[in-house]
A and B are shown apart, each in its own frame.
Chain A
Amino acid sequence: MELLANLHLGFSVALSPSTLMLAIIGCVLGTIIGALPGLGPSNGVAILIPLSFTLGLDATSALVLMTAVYYGAMYGGRISSILLNIPGDEPAMMTTLDGYPLAKKGRAGDALVLSGVASFVGAFLATVGLMLLAPILAEIAFLFGPAEYFALYLLAFCTLGGIGSSNQAKAAISVCLGLGLAMVGVDSSTGLTRFTGGNLHLYDGIDFLVAIVGLFAVSEVFIFIESHGRESSIGVKLEKVTIPVRQIFETRWTMLRGSAIGFVAGVLPGAGASLGSFLAYMAEKSVAKEKDLFGTGEIKGIAAPEAGNNAAAGGALVPMLTLGVPGSGTTAVLLALLMTLNITPGPLLFTERPEVVWGLIASLLIANVVLLILNVPLVKLFSRVLQVPAVILLPGVTMISFVGIFSLSGSYFDLLLMIGFGVLGYFLRKLSIPTVPVILGILLGGHMEVSLRRAMVLSDGDWSYLFSTPISIGLWLAAIAGFIAPLFLRRFLSIASLRKEGEK
């Protein structure tokens, strides 16, 4: 009953004309961003955040707009996967495996509609899951003290680094880089400045939005100049779009399985949507009778990863909202948004600002319906954005990033810092050092240190306090397992092998 009351509250917020409008605008923008190759949910949301501030939106509206963009980008990513064989974003990688071959057979329309429906099923079920699971997790989160939070942050870094990277040492370097950058600025508990080198601009610390836009968007420009449009393959033409009712019906169990797997992968801190779609695809392949058909344009090979990655996108919101620990790169960006809006995610958010949480959940349900409409009947319209040439797109993205960051602070220093992060991002990506842990480190470094120090105050400097409750011991064990297990499971599980499979 409480759930219904909460939902009622949520829909009363979400159905106000202005919020509804923002959700629709977000869906459209998100689908376009997702469809454009090289512009995924994380950098898409990143360049839009500064702009959303200048609009002067209140917290709920800004959050609704950005999560609509996030969901939209997850839907849109499949369009370029299927038509161009280039994933619009990383989680859409698995969709290229069967989507593009099916499109080459002249059934691009079927592939797009089917994947659109699968996205809807995944995202919708995940939003329902979020609705049911988040309040429970928020209750549990009340039991968390500083020691548990410290272990939880560690868990996020370990799983993100362990699963998201092909080399543990590189992931650790990336995490340290982020945490180190988070130390720059005034220390919150003593008021001392640290690592600023006397530079006044650094007293407030490094603005994570500057780092995010630099690492995600500006570095993309460099990567693109290097690849020199090399990747622009010949796309498949989209002919008539019909709705393949029979095939949608045939893949109903595939979609449900994919959604369940994706949701669980999304909820695990640090794992994220790429893992969700990968696991959903692999699981479907292993239960299928005709395994050989996978990779040649099998409809189940499209439905499973799309349901999986969209479900993971919803699942990733659960730890982000209840614990303040993002489950993926994009939710890290959304966390940055929340922190800039002065909303602290965590259990208190559910009791003190229920209108934000439930308004968001209701908006997501609405956004899903909007996205289904946009992505099934209107998919032809969106496939047009693929024709925007890179010579226009890339400078455009750069200019938007610059103006966005400039409008935040109006300082040259932030722009130069952003370019610096862009160059850094280029080198990190060339060296296959993951960039998401850097962002997560900058975002969570301060919190992680504060929780460690608080734990030490409580225990008067006794380190064993960190392992004194069952919850924290469990989190420590999970963290260690999350970091070490991929060493052994690498051949089956890593994103790197996923990438190679995608290139074949």
Chain B
Amino acid sequence: MSDRLTGLITIVVALAFFAGATQLEQPFFADPLGPKAFPMLISAVGLIAGMVLLLRPDEEPRWPGMATVLRLVLATLILVFYAYSLKPLGFLVSTAIAAAALSYQIKAELVRSVLIGICLSGGLFVIFKFALGLSLFALPRWLIG
């Protein structure tokens, strides 16, 4: 089922890619091939591969249970939060929160996770700032002023 779905998605994406390629302008002074041909070639190969997968799928992979899926979604959200918080919250705070939350996802022990978060954020900050000389903001900018 998963492979058939993947094949189907591939076909749809390949068709969309092909359609996108046909929409490209062909400039007057272009080379004989122009900007369209290669993307079209790719989508053609993708289309064939998608069809093969749709018709001849492999055995089903083992997907995780609901609880794990939830944990994975949560982990993704943590990463997105980390991406957005890195600048406004500063390195130390955002890293501590994200690292603690991530390690809690791997092993659910609250105290240990919080400790790991704080130590990782501190340790990495020292390495990045002083050994590698990256310019990182340690703390939220409104605190430093």
- Which residues of chain A have a CB within 8 Å of any CB of chain B? 51, 54-55, 166-170, 172-173, 175-177, 179-180, 183, 187, 189-190, 192, 194-195, 218, 221-222, 224-226, 228-229, 390-392, 394-396, 398-400, 402-403, 406-407, 412, 415-416, 419, 422-423, 426, 430-433, 448-449, 452-454, 456-457, 460-461
Q: Which among B37, B43, B113, B121 is the interface contact of A180 at CB below 8 angstroms? A: B43
Alpha-carbon separation in the docked complex, A496 to B68 (Å)? 26
CA distance A178 to B65 in the complex (A): 30
By the criterion CB–CB under 8 Å, are B33 and A176 in contact?
A: no
Q: Does B110 contact A (CB under 8 A)?
A: no
The answer to whether B38 and A460 touch across the interface, beta carbons within 8 angstroms, is no
In the bound complex, residues from chain B placing their C-beta under 8 Å from that of A431 are 2-3, 6, 61
Number of interface residues of B (CB under 8 A): 70
Tell me the complex Cα distance, A167–B10, Å: 15
Contact B24 A192 (CB under 8 A): yes
- Closest CB pairs A-B (n = 10): A172-B49, A415-B83, A176-B46, A461-B32, A169-B52, A395-B99, A395-B102, A391-B103, A449-B38, A456-B33
Contact of A194 among B39, B45, B112 (CB under 8 A): B39
Cα-based distance from A55 to B91 in the complex (angstroms): 19
Q: A419, B72: Cβ atoms under 8 Å? A: no
Structural contact, B31 and A189, CB atoms closer than 8 A:
yes
Among B20, B38, B45, residue most surrounded by chain A Cβ atoms (within 10 Å)? B38
Flag if A419 contacts B27 (CB, 8 Å).
no
Q: Would you call A166 and B58 a contact (CB within 8 A)?
A: yes
Residue pair B68, A226 in contact (C-beta under 8 Å): yes
Contacts of A190 on B, CB cut-off 8 Å? 27, 30, 34-35
Chain A residues positioned under 8 Å from B100 (CB to CB): 395
List 20 interface pairs A-B (beta carbons < 8 Å), by A numbering.
A167-B53, A167-B58, A169-B7, A169-B52, A170-B53, A170-B58, A177-B46, A179-B42, A180-B13, A187-B35, A190-B27, A229-B107, A391-B116, A394-B103, A396-B124, A400-B124, A419-B80, A430-B61, A452-B37, A456-B33
Minimal beta-carbon separation of B84 from chain A (angstroms): 6
Q: Is the CB of B27 within 8 A of A460?
A: no
Q: How far is the CA of A462 from the CA of B145 in the complex (A)?
A: 65
Interface residues of B, dominant DSSP: helix
B106 x A194 contact (CB < 8 A): no
CA of A109 to CA of B39, assembled, Å: 54
| Cα distance, A431 to B72, chains bound together (Å) | 16
Partner of A173, one of B50, B61, B112, B132: B50
Contacting pair B53 A169 (CB below 8 A): yes
Q: Check if B42 sits within 8 Å of A419, measured CB to CB.
A: no
Instruction: Name the A residues within 8 Å of B33 (CB-CB).
Output: 452-453, 456-457, 461
Tell me, in angstroms, the Cα distance from A462 to B105 when the chains sit together. 58
Q: B58's contact among A175, A187, A194, A432, by CB below 8 Å, is which?
A: A432
Q: Which A residue's beta carbon lies closest to that of B38?
A: A449
